[in-house]
Amino acid sequence: MPDELLFVRQYVPLTADSERRFFVVAGTAYGAEKTSLPTALQPVLDALKPRLFYSLDVALTQAGVPVVVEVGDGQVSDLKEWTLVDFGASVLRSLAAVT
* Average pLDDT value for the chain: 91
Quick check: 49 pLDDT over 60?
Answer: yes
CB 14 within 8 A of CB 58: no
The architecture that CATH gives domain 2-98 is 2-Layer Sandwich (3.30)
pTM: 0.89
- More confident site: 2 or 63: 63
CA distance 1 to 37: 18
Bridge partners, 67 (sequence order): 59
Long-range contact pairs involving 82-86 (C-beta distance under 8 Å, separation at least 24): 82/21, 82/32, 83/32, 86/32, 86/33
Quick check: 8 pLDDT over 70?
Answer: no
Confidence class for position 1, pLDDT limits 50, 70, 90: very low
